[in-house]
Every structure is written in C-alpha cells, then in structure tokens.
Amino acid sequence: MASINLENVQKTFGKVIAVDQLNLQIREGEFFTFLGPSGCGKTTTLRMIAGFYYPTKGIVRFGEKDMTRVPPEKRNTGMVFQNYALFPHMTVFENVAFGLKVRKIPSTEIKNRVHDVLEKVRLDTFSNRQVSQLSGGQQQRVALARALVIEPEILLLDEPLSNLDAKLRDEMRTEILRLQRDYHITTIYVTHDQAEALSMSDRIAVFNNGVCHQIGTPFEIYNEPANDFVAQFIGEINFIPFEMDKIKEEKIEVRIIQGNQSLSVKRIPFNDVEFSMDEKLILSIRPESIKLSTQAMEGENVLEGKIESLQFFGSAVEILVKVQDITLKVNLLNPADLSVLKKESMVWLELPADRIRLIPKISGD
C-alpha cells in the first residue's frame, strides 16, 4: 500500500493544457475519485500516476519515493481500463495469469494466485471459458482480477462501469468496494458520474478544464461546494442572484435581485477563508432543502410563489415554483397528498438560513 503525492503537476499536449498546477495527496488505503466532465483531465492524471504519461512539470511520489519518470512496469500499479483491454482469444485463467507469467512467477504459484483471485471476484467456475463468451459484468470481473492478481500497491480504475447497464453498474459498485476493503488497497477511481462518486468514495477531487476545483469528502463537496461549478456538477442546485444588504454578527442579510424580498444567510466561511464583500458570489440552495407549504406563511426567509410545473418521480416530486422573475426547484420526498399541489396554485417557500450557501461564482452567465 502506498500514499500518492502529486506536487504542482502539469501536463500539456502541444498547446492543450490537459492538467494544470495539480496538488493532491491521496492517503494509504483510501478510495479516491477523480470526478469531472469529459475532457477535464481525469484520465491524463490517472495515466501520469500509472506512468503511461510523464508530467510536463511537477513531481509524482508514491510515499516519499519520486516516481515521476519511472516506467509503468516498475510502478506496482494495477489498472482497469474502460474497455477492459482483455485478450479475447485467451481463457479467463490465461488473461488473469498473464501479468504473473511476464513477471516469471513459478507456475504452481501462478495457479494458486489466479485461483484465489478468481474466487474473490466470484469467477472460480469460469476459469476455462474464453473471455469472448462472457457477459459485460463477467468481463469486468476478469479485468479486476487481472489488476489485483499482481498484488499492486495502487489500483487505478478508469471509468470501469461505463459499459454496463444500470442494474449491473449498481452490483459492480458494491463488488468493487468489497474488493477494495478486502485488499485494503489505495484506489483511484475515474468517473463523470456524480452519484457513483458520492456513494463510493472516501474523498473526491472535482476537475474542470484541467484544473482541480475542490478536494473533500462526498459530504463536504455536496454541502460546502467551493464554487458554482462544483455545486452544479455534484447535484441539483438553485442559484439566486442577490444584493448584499448588511452583515450582522452571525448573519448576512441579502436582498434578492428583481425582487424586494429579504433573505438572511448564516455566515459560513468556505475553504477556511472568509469571503470579502467585493468577491463575485451567488446564493445557492439545494432543492431538497427548501420547505414548501400550501398555507400562507410569514417569517424570515419565506418567499411567496406560484407552481409552474410538477413532475412525479415515485420517491419524490420535483416542483418548479416561480418567485417573481426567478424559478426555484423544490424536491419533496414522497408527499402524502399530491392533490393539493396544482399548477398555478400559490405556495410559500421557506429557505432555512443554515441551508443557504454563499459561494464564489466562477462560471459565466
């Protein structure tokens, strides 16, 4: 097992800066996820850790050891690729044994190790099957077994579930987590799927355009996003333009632009830095944090609006409410009575002060 440290890492391809000024410390035994949209630099970063690319600038360390220019075969990392990269003409056994043969391990030891790892991924009865005769989920398990059999210090998984259907993806998530805990192996998982990242990871790094915007636990990233890009990438969110009114000890009072309604916001420092009055900020709240009532309400942070549309999803209802010129999304979990919620009817929304976040706005309008 090893920790991984990236120090000021940059990778360019011609004029394209694929990854820039990246500083990351991944702890021993951690399940760490790189999350971001297509082309944001996740795979490039993973490949620099595997040794398939060398950084243009910066240092890659495993523990204290400088690995920046060490070739892949000398790194003791196991990798699972998006398309599995299995040898289709070989059996399951031969695919998994391949890495051990290359390392000139004696054949009895190869047999034992392949047998053990196939048991772990629950494929022990498939040893003699050609991989071309396996289902997608089974091929995925072979790819995992092939990465794990060499007993790597670090496991690298590049969008390993993207070729599977939704149900199988759910099963394989649990399977991967079980294997990671069993082997207690430092793991980096690349995905653009926020639900996958939130549900599997110890910590997540959120990337966009080659830049890492935030590193934190799923809870921190969801509840205390570093900026509007992270907030909207990691889940649904309402953004509300506002003007700052005044700052009182614990609370900031703001006025919604286009409206005359006041909101107070608990003063929350983000990234351990207090924000300043001249920073470009935006007010944000998650749809499930808004309380909705069909009865008139008064009080702090109550907004009056009209239902614009309503969508029923079984476990939740998504309601769009027009408040003056702003549309707010509200998610209600399994309401007992839907008949009172009708299009065009008046509703009152309470935005609890401790669920509102003021966050830096980095993206354009």
Q: Give me the residues that bind ligand ATP (CB under 6 A), please.
A: 13, 16, 18, 36, 38-44, 192
Smallest gap from Cβ 158 to ligand ATP, in A, equals 8
Distance CA 60, CA 39 (A): 21
- 44 vs 140 by CB, closer to ligand ATP: 44
- 16 vs 195 by CB, closer to ligand ATP: 16
Distance CA 340, CA 73 (A): 64
- 191 vs 238 by CB, closer to ligand ATP: 191
The helix (run of H) or strand (run of E) holding residue 318 is: strand 316-323
Smallest gap from Cβ 22 to ligand ATP, in A, equals 11
Tell me the chain's radius of gyration from C-alpha atoms.
25
Distance CA 153, CA 64 (A): 14
Smallest gap from Cβ 52 to ligand ATP, in A, equals 10
Smallest gap from Cβ 103 to ligand ATP, in A, equals 28
Work out the burial of residue 297: count CB atoms within 10 Å of its CB; fewer than 13 is exposed, 13-18 middle, 19 or more buried. middle
* Helix residue spans in 10-106 (DSSP H): 42-50, 92-102
Helix, strand, or coil (residue 323): strand
Q: Report whether 132 contacts 88 (CB < 8 A).
A: yes
- 191 vs 301 by CB, closer to ligand ATP: 191
CA within 13 Å, CB half, 186: 18
Smallest gap from Cβ 271 to ligand ATP, in A, equals 23
Smallest gap from Cβ 138 to ligand ATP, in A, equals 24
Q: Report whether 289 contacts 265 (CB < 8 A).
A: no
Smallest gap from Cβ 210 to ligand ATP, in A, equals 6
- 11 vs 173 by CB, closer to ligand ATP: 11
Residue with tokens 């939130």: 198
Distance CA 197, CA 31 (A): 10
- 43 vs 284 by CB, closer to ligand ATP: 43
- 158 vs 175 by CB, closer to ligand ATP: 158
Helix, strand, or coil (residue 237): coil
